[in-house]
Amino acid sequence: MSVGQPVKLRIFSLNCWGIRYLSQHCAQRYEMIGELLSREEYDLALLQEVWSEKDFLFLKKTLASTHPHSHYFKSGVIGSGLAVFSRHKIHDAFLYRFSLNGYPYMLHHGDWFGGKAVGMVIVNVFGLTAHVYVTHLHAEYSREKDGYLPHRVVQAWELQQFVRHTSSGADVVILGGDLNMHPQDLGNRLIRTYTGLKDCYTDTDKFDGCEGGVTLIADNPFTNKKELIPFEKGIRIDYILFKGSKKVCVKCESLSTTKGSVPGKAFPYSDHEALSAELVLRNAKEAEDCEGGQDSCSADALPELVDTVTEARMEVKVGLHLAERMRHTAARTGAMGLVLLLLELAIAAVPWLALGAEQPFPRASFYLLGALSFAILLTTLLLYVFHTTQVKALQGAEDQMRLAAGSLQEALRGRAGAGQRGGPRPPGPRRVGE
């Protein structure tokens, strides 16, 4: 297609809640999702929580005629859950797994086993190069006591870095997925401000869906109402973000969401509402109202970005302090287990050192204490190693944020100095790594 001719690109995003044997009506819902995608023929379908590869293969077979190109991102113990279906040819794919993703011993949450990540596919869309990203960040289980906030902030930081450093040659950039963050949450502001991505909900001409664009609603029968407290109307945690380039102007013409149960069906597609966006792509030179795409934040957004990065760095420091404390606790407990084990060995050596002496403890109790001390030592060793990796990851993220904050502050001071001299303002900050 000619770049001079406006074209429309239809995007679909849904957290499928596809936990086999645990999610309700899983097989039936995948059939409904397949029917919807086949009927609507979206250009791109970005899916999350497709935890079983069998379900992905089912969708691939169902969509063979409408979406002949697809990719399933594998990661973690049970997979990343990320999948892309496309009407356009996928030329390349890459997965980046986040360095932090919760705790393995929080079995009732299970995020650690999922290997949360961001997947990228490069697609040729009407002669244009589109870099398409699908992601799923760590869930927020408590708004008031969010122990995973530092992890989610680091994930948002790594996500924006990944998008910026892999999208420089793209004509169009699209990011869809379950960010598990409210619109004004720290990680969300970090992603949008640093990358220049726009939110389809706030930048669309037409919206049809749940009030406020919420994607977790009380009317959904799969939703745990306690998770919505204190947001009775629901929360918006699923997004489709986009931006163009110097070559292509991108505008969101319409955005819609599902509204609970599917008409004619007994239940909805998922516990999340699906998003459908229609983007219009035009030649940036011929579009008078086009703001153009940028590789980094604009000069006007620079002060906000400095504050956001500084805030993110402080939150990471809080997480680092917690991780170090948990590592020290594991070390102390492990030392106690080691002392207990050495004491057990000393007691076991008594009959050998004093010939004819009897074992001072009953044999069963002795073996039980020995097994307990060994279990404590092994468990605390694993926890120590795990929390050490957490400390390293948090330290690495904090170091990166420190460098970025310094660079941004320097650019801000240079901009202020140029303004005082009456000279032209310099452009936005250089990206880290340039």
**CB-based contact 250:196 (threshold 8 Å):** no
| Of 300, 297, 321, 322, the residue nearest 309 (C-alpha) | 297
Which amino acid, one-letter code, is at 415?
R
How many other CB atoms are found less than 10 A from the CB of residue 318? Answer: 13
> Active site residue: 88, 136, 272, 387, which one?
272
CA atoms within 13 A on the CB side of 257: 28
Q: How far apart are CA 318 and CA 394, in angstroms?
A: 10
Q: Determine the 3-state secondary structure of 224 from DSSP.
A: coil
Quote the distance between the C-alpha of residue 328 and its chain's center.
Answer: 29
Active site residue 272: yes
Q: How far apart are CA 208 and CA 214, in angstroms?
A: 11
- Burial class, 133, CB count within 10 angstroms (exposed 0-12 / middle 13-18 / buried 19+): buried
**CB crowding 181-207: b at 16 or more within 10 Å, else e:** bebebbbbbbbbbbbbbbbbbeebeeb
- Burial class, 370, CB count within 10 angstroms (exposed 0-12 / middle 13-18 / buried 19+): middle
What's the Cα-to-Cα distance from 431 to each of 107, 165, 190, 241, 419, rounded to whole Å? 38, 9, 14, 20, 22
Catalytic residues: 272
